[in-house]
Amino acid sequence: MFAFPVLVGDIGGTNARFGVVESKGAAPRLLSHEATAGHPDPSSAIRAALAKDGQGGKHAGGPAPRSAILAIAGRVDGPKVQLTNAHWVIEGAKIGADFDLETSVVVNDYVPVAAGAAGIAPHDLTLVGPVGHEPGGARVVLGPGTGFGAAALVPYSDRLAIVSTEAGHTDLGPSDAFEEKVWHALERVEDRVTVETVLSGPGLARLHAAVRHVRTGVPAEKIEPAAVTQAGLDASDPHAAEALELFGRLLGRVCGDLALTFLATGGVYVGGGIAPRIVKLLQQGGFRAAFERKAPFSAMMRAIPTSVITVHDPAFTGLAALASEGETFVYHGQVWRRGA
């Protein structure tokens, strides 16, 4: 399906990472990270990435890319896709024409993360809970970052079907008296509290402000998510520590809900930018208890392993797998071919 070299891209609401897979089976090589806000459109960012690694559209003196597969933080539902948390519009046909490609494919950003989970190495994971999984069982990958992404990897005959989702935009409510108080103080997004409203970088900032409001009775301003994480981990701010604990419990609950939805007996893999920073909190806090509290299926949930993906840029491994092992996977995406 893909002519090599293949340009690969992981395009999020904040950053876009571009690389190249030189030949079938080769590991992806990073070209650059580009700030989404620093470019008017994806083609501009791709040109900048290629220019940093060579001249005239080439990289390291090699041939220019002949095809591309780009993973984006948004719903791929037409020939033009608006990023959920950024201003770019992604159009596979335009990118194909701009770079004289044979094929240009656009997928949801958790499609390659799911593909990468098919062959992820144990040393790229940190377990949070039991070891072991059901061979051949479905798997779920998800992650809180700028937004919240999730996908499932479901065995289908001799292939693996990747089901991308918009689970981040489903509603989320309180489950105890303290959470109910937090929910009353929580900033809404478009008058809703969704999974992404709380389980994301901006969501962590919202949780911290709401927890502080509940504990002090005084409305609180939001601070940067990184500052909340640091202050919570070093215990310099008790409200930040409590917000992080709540974040972990809510993440466990949502992981459990998705595990039930897809019967993910093969395991749940947590990526994104936040989870790797708070692994110890997830291991020692209420994450697993919330994950397993799913009566009448608590026994099944206790047997499902949960892991944090600790490898850097996990989507790149998955993009390389999609480029090189396309026949293994079934997935939805925007596909453009020259002359088609």
Tens digit of each residue's pLDDT, the chain (340 residues): 799 999 999 998 788 999 999 999 999 999 999 999 999 999 999 999 998 875 344 445 568 999 999 999 888 888 888 887 788 999 999 999 999 999 999 998 899 999 988 888 888 899 998 876 667 899 999 999 888 999 999 998 889 999 999 999 999 999 999 999 999 999 999 999 999 999 999 999 999 999 999 999 999 999 999 999 999 999 999 999 999 999 999 999 999 999 999 999 999 999 988 999 999 999 999 999 999 999 999 999 999 999 999 887 788 889 999 999 888 999 988 888 987 6
* DSSP H helices in the chain: 42-52, 92-98, 110-117, 177-185, 195-198, 201-216, 225-233, 238-262, 279-284, 287-292, 298-302, 314-324
**8 A C-beta contact, residue 109 and residue 32:** no
User: How far does CA 159 lie from the centroid of its chain?
Assistant: 22
CB-CB neighbours of 56 under 10 Å: 7
Which is nearest to 267 in space by CA: 247, 246, 283, 291?
Answer: 291
Alpha carbon distance 286, 281 (integer Å): 8
Alpha carbon distance 177, 181 (integer Å): 7
- 96-114 in b/e burial notation, b at 16+ Cβ within 10 A? bebbebbbbbbbbbbbbbb
For 272, residues 6+ apart whose C-beta sits below 8 A from its C-beta are 142, 143, 144, 145, 148, 149
211, amino acid identity: V
How many residues belong to the chain? Answer: 340
Domains present along the chain, CATH in parentheses? 6-114+313-337 (3.30.420.40), 121-310 (3.40.367.20)
Residue 230, Cβ density class (10 Å: 0-12 exposed, 13-18 middle, ≥19 buried)? middle
Predicted TM-score (pTM) of the model is: 0.88
Alpha carbon distance 246, 172 (integer Å): 13
- The DSSP secondary-structure symbol of 171 reads B
